[in-house]
Structure 1
Amino acid sequence: MLFYDFEVFKYDWLVVVLDMTAKKKHVIINAPDELKALYEQNINDIWVGFNSRHYDQYIFKAILCGFDPKKVNDYIIVKGKPGWQYSSLFRSYPLNNYDVMMNIDRGLKVFEGFMGNSIKETSVDFNIDRKLTPEEIKETVKYCTHDVEQTVQVFLQRKADFEAHLSLVKIASGNTLDLSLIGKTKPQLSAIILEARKSEYIDEFDIDFPDTLQISKYREVMEWYMNPNNRRYTDDKDKKMQLNTMIAGVPHTFAWGGVHGAIEKYCGTGHYLMADVASLYPSLMIRYNLHSRSMKDPKKFVDIYNTRIKYKAEKNPLQLPLKLVLNSTYGVMKDKNNALYDPRQANRVCVYGQLLILDLIEKLEGYCELIQSNTDGILIKLPDGSQKTYDMIDDICWEWEQRTGLTLEFDEYHKVFQKDVNNYLILPPGELYDENGKPLWKSKGAYVKKLSNLDYDLPIVNKAMIEYMVHGTPVEQTIEQCNELKEFQLVSKISNKYTCILHGEQPVNEKCVRLFASKDAADLGVKKIHATTGKAAKLQNSPEHCFIFNDAVNGVAVPAKLDKQWYVNLANRRLKDFGVG
């Protein structure tokens, strides 16, 4: 396995390659023959990069083809075109490329910031209109090497994802291991596994309703979907088509992408039940024949579903790649570039799911209080904790399960903190941790999610809020007792819509910065400058007074000027959004 990264200038290019098997580093500068020799020596190995699916692999192939890599760079970066379109000759140089980057990622520098590593940029201008000096080459090699090393770290954090991807490749290869498929995305591999054949459809909104549906009170929702005028994604003003209405006393939004409703800024204690539909979308596809019509044989989807259930019960790790196949199928049915493309079936799956959840809410209304509903489940509060009440709710749910062919999974909770349907923390009635110390509470949303090395933004605020919600610890106590600077970091990166970041009135060399609130009035705020309008805008969530620390921050102690009160105030403001105070 080789990790690599290219840097391209007008008159120079270089690549740093870390061969993890041979434990060797290669630095190749303006030497296509040397690059070709390395390629041929490792043609059967896996080459790993960050954003390499869209960029580095095409720079690699361009050099092997004898093209000017700068022209390919500009084709991809400046013109915004996919690299594979540049030349059909790229196919002459197969590359087993694995991209660590996911669609949700904001860039390697952000991950470097989250991990507490240096996020300083090179001072060498990538638009320089001359050959680089030896000093500039040296600095660029150092910068590039750092990025390759960081890519290795991100890969190690996502090793389970790689292993699942490799398992998908094996399934798609017919239980061999055809590494030429490693560069495919998971949805592309799913299409291969399900033997999908790309087709064109013109019946995107030719939808119906499940024959098991029983809705009487909230028929306005059904009527909204039946109305031909609503069968589009946006209106004439490009606003999202949706229905806003009250369901069981809770404001709800129904749309072509799902349903959600919640009591906002809610905090309460009592007897709560969360009822989620097990594997909703795959279950709907099987029960109501809503598979992509591009599948060669829908029975294969059913077989994968049943095998995954069996593996899950056996705690077989092979259940994960099968889960990826099942869960990715719905999403790609609206991807025109995927062989599973079938937008009508995707809309039917979504509408069926929404209406059947609404059906369940209608049957439960009057016997409990609805706290939230989402695409695949509901959270309700029971009037008491008696067996009679539980049995009554269970009977209603059982009838719904028998009629719809779907299965509900239940979890009991004792306390709820809820900002909205996508941001909440709920506590179980008994122990808060299992025998291994794993938390038994459930949380969702940016403010209270479980943190990781690749998602470590304002961690002290997150920890202070969770400590308050779970243990009743005042946020001031959690924040004041912490003296690790990394815990207070706010990592912010500007997009290509902005030219630079200003700290006060001084431009910052980096487009990704690590910020800390400051008690020093001389430490000014940070702004971003719009590339088109030239207007300045405050960086999101940034303090009015802050200092920047883009060096490695792991192990660094809190300085005297860190404004801990700013973090206390932010935590308290966020707690109010969850109904506290």
Structure 2
Amino acid sequence: MFTFYWLLQNESSFTAVLKTENEVQVITDRESLKKALDSVSYLVSFGNYSTMDKQFALLLSNNKSKYLQKNISIDLSQELGNKTIEEIGFRLGHDLKAKTAKDFCQKRIEICEYIFSKREEYLESKFQIVKEFDLDPRFVMKTRAGLAAEVLKAKKQPKTPNVLMYDYDKRIYLNELPEKLINFYNNIKKQYIIDKDEKIKSEKIKMTLCGLTHTFGFGGVHAAKEKYKGSGDFLLIDVRQFFPSLILNNNFLSHAVKEKQLYKKLYDKKVDTGQETYKVLIAAVNGAMNNSYSNLYDPQKFYAVTVNGQLIITHLIMLLENFIEELIQTNTDGILVKINPAFESLINDLLSRWSEHYELDLKVTKIKNVWQRDVNNYILEKTAGEFIKKGIYSDVDYLSSAIPVIPAALNAYMLKGIKPQTFLIDVFKSEAIGQFYYIGKIARGYDAIEQQVGRSYKKLNNTVCGIATSNKKLGGIYQTKNDLHSKLPGSPVHFLPYDRATKKDIDMSWYVEEVEKFIF
């Protein structure tokens, strides 16, 4: 059913490798390619929508069309952010050096097969949506937001000068919220009505709530106690399906959707069945309303959701303020609080009343230990012993950009008290060199990556992998633009590419310093 492929092309020739469960084909001529694709149901690759699919189409059509006419393809990079196949390959420990075009393609197909196995649930949800709603089979190529637009029969509307003319949720008692905060949003709206200048949406206001400085604007509200460690009784209070619920409760759905009942049907089916298909669809809608390429585009409704979300979370904080010991963290759809167990029953009653008033569903998780560097980097230990890890403390997987040994060392220190140097030496002795790999790639808008060697610079590939080395003859790695050099973020002072690196080349002191940056 699925055929993995990779294409390597130059000015005068090409090599395409197609792989199924049963065979591998290496193709170097147009007629053989055309014949092979006649029996393919789905082509699978990575980054192919922007490059290789178009190259295939041009080859098949004698340069007449950039679009595949007969084949449906799947791009495994879709909705993964700006990842490259080489980044993932290096993280998986693959050696990407190749002597032949065939070898080059096969090495990348191996990575595609791994990514496919990890994204089966994502892909299945798209196929299920297409089948469930009787959509064009080619729509499986769309993002989840694109599928949501199709299911809701959205017809793109011209942008209107009403972006910041948001309404408030009728359930909010504005007079019970901080006057300064309400005035901020009212004044933004009034100013926008006068001059229609959207730049005003970048305005922010800082306020202290429950002892924490909160920043409000037109995204999500965030606040956190920095460099905080605590043990005791904590409640992690999250609003389930927060933005989808606000959309439904207030008719904050894009004007592009004329049949509003379609969204409610999706929402109700999600609640009734719990199926991932419906959760995926309703969750995709809000972000799509702020995407100018989406048929659901309607920034006025998007900002109505984000503004009201911040006000409702603010009301939750104010409601609980006199009954909690500390507010530890505020995020887009919830809060973390420390409580006195004697007040837990009362707090639960308040939460029940709050959720009933706003017609929202809450999930409350009991936490016993908190390690929080800032709002984006923390570890929470549930009472049952499981961990919630975010940011630099997250466990490394095939999509992680962190050097594996660094979050591992941080977790060892935070949770077990193991000193960074001790942990790093143990990893050095017992594990593969890949635990020390730094992986970086060129950012959009830059020309190349270069390494300083002595007084000159050596050009490298656009995705690099290597270690921090004790060899001082090797310099750092830089992105270049207009002959100006900018250090690749997070890269070592002295860098040695992976294909020349051994454990004895590792500069352990650099890794210790990197870990200690995040210790508190």
| Contact 2:465 2:497 (8 Å CA) reproduced | yes
Work out the CA distance in 2 between the residues paired with 1:275 and 1:548.
Answer: 45
In the alignment, which residue of structure 2 is the partner of 1:195? 153
Aligned-pair identity (%): 24
Of 198-207 and 249-258, the range deviating more from structure 2: 198-207
Counterpart check, 1:5 vs 2:1: no
1:559 to 481, 489, 503: 503
Task: Determine if contact 2:177/2:314 at 8 Å carries over to the other structure.
Answer: no
SS at match of 1:481: helix
Verify: 1:213 aligned to 2:172, yes or no.
yes
Q: Does 1:474 align with 2:419?
A: yes
SS in 2 for 1:366: helix
Which amino acid in the other structure matches residue 117 of structure 2? L
| Displacement of 1:331 | 0.6
1:444 corresponding residue in structure 2 = 390
Amino acid across the alignment from 1:98: I
1:3, 1:49 within 8 Å by CA — same for their partners in 2?
yes
* Counterpart amino acid of residue 562 in structure 1: I
| 1:287/1:572 CA distance change after superposition, 3 Å | same
Aligned twin of 2:465: 514
Q: How far did 1:117 drift?
A: 0.8
TM-score normalised to structure 2 length: 0.90
How far does residue 230 in structure 1 lie from its aligned partner after superposition? Answer: 6.2
Q: Which residue of 2 aligns with 1:131?
A: none
Q: How does 1:112-261 map to 2 (within 5 A)?
A: 112-120=89-97, 139-173=100-134, 178-202=136-160, 203-215=162-174, 216-227=176-187, 228-229=190-191, 235=199, 240-261=202-223
1:405-460 per-position Cα deviation (integer Å, ceiling 9, x unaligned): 1122111112211122222111123x42xxxxxxx121111x11122133263111
Map of 1:301 onto structure 2: 263
C-alpha distance in 2 between matches for 1:40 and 1:455: 37
Q: How does 1:351-500 map to 2 (within 5 A)?
A: 351-368=307-324, 369-382=326-339, 384-386=340-342, 389-429=343-383, 431-432=384-385, 440-445=386-391, 447-455=392-400, 457-482=402-427, 483=429, 484-495=432-443, 497-500=446-449
Q: Is the 8 A contact 2:475 2:494 kept in 1?
A: yes
Whole-Å Cα distance in 1 between the matches of residues 450 and 134 of structure 2? 47
C-alpha change, 1:380 and 1:283, in structure 2 (3 Å) is same
Match of 1:19 in 2: 19
Q: Flag the structure with more relative contact order, 1 or 2, with Cα contacts below 8 A and sequence separation at least 6.
A: 1
1:108 to 85, 90, 101: 85
Matched, 1:97 2:63: no
The answer on whether the counterparts of 1:276 and 1:378 sit within 8 Å (CA) in structure 2 is yes
- Residue identity in the other structure for 2:163: E
AA at the equivalent of 2:17: V
Report deviation, 1:279. 0.8
Superposed CA offset, 1:546-576 (max 9, x none): 322148x9xxxx623323332222212211x
Deviation per CA, 1:193-222, whole angstroms, max 9, x where unpaired? 222222234122221111111243512212
Are 2:48 and 1:48 equivalent residues in the alignment? no
1:324: which partner in 2?
A: 280
Q: Report if the CA contact (8 A) 2:130-2:137 is conserved.
A: yes
Give the drift of 1:303: 2.3
Given the alignment of the two structures, is residue 349 of structure 1 paired with residue 345 of structure 2, yes or no? no
**Aligned residues of 1:53 and 1:183 also touching (Cα < 8 A):** no
What one-letter code is carried by the residue in structure 1 that aligns with 2:164?
Answer: F
Output the CA distance in 2 between the equivalents of 1:208 and 1:53.
39
- Measured after TM superposition, the shift of residue 324 of structure 1 is 1.0
Unaligned runs of 5+ in 1: 68-86, 123-137, 313-318, 433-439
Separation in 2 of the partners of 1:259 and 1:230?
Answer: 21
For residues 41-65 of structure 1, the C-alpha deviation after alignment (integer angstroms, 9 at most, x for no partner) is 33xx101121111221111112222
Displacement after TM superposition at 1:508 (Å): 4.3
Question: For the residues of structure 2 that align with 1:295 and 1:412, how far apart are their CA atoms?
Answer: 39
Aligned residue in 2 for 1:82: none
Q: CA RMSD for the aligned pairs?
A: 2.4
Deviation at 1:24, TM superposition (A): 2.4
What letter matches 2:409 in structure 1? A
Task: Determine the C-alpha separation between the residues in 2 that align with 1:506 and 1:188.
Answer: 44
Normalised by the length of structure 1, the TM-score is 0.81
SS of residue matched to 1:411: strand
Contact conserved, 1:111 with 1:454, CA < 8 A, in 2?
A: yes
Q: 1:226 to 1:287 in 2, by over 3 A?
A: same
Distance across 2 between alignment mates of 1:327 and 1:529: 36
Report the CA distance between 1:21 and its aligned residue.
4.1
Question: Residues 262 and 371 of structure 1 are in contact (CA less than 8 Å); yes or no, is this contact kept in structure 2?
Answer: yes
- Sort the Cα spacing of 1:226 and 1:248 in 2 relative to 1 into closer, same or farther, 3 A: same
Equivalents in 2 of 1:187, 1:402: separation in Å?
29
Distance in 2 (alpha carbons) for counterparts of 1:266 and 1:230: 39
Task: State the secondary structure of the residue aligned to 1:182.
Answer: helix
Q: 3-state SS of the aligned residue for 1:542? A: coil
CA distance in 2 between partners of 1:213 and 1:225 (Å) = 14
1:234 positional shift: 6.2
CA distance in 2, matches of 1:198, 1:561: 57
Matches of 1:153 and 1:373, distance apart in 2: 36
Contact 2:451 2:460 in 1 (8 A): no
* Poorly superposed stretches of 4+, deviation over 6 Å: 230-234
* Structure 1: distance between partners of 2:197 and 2:19: 48
**Structure 2 unmatched runs, 5+:** none
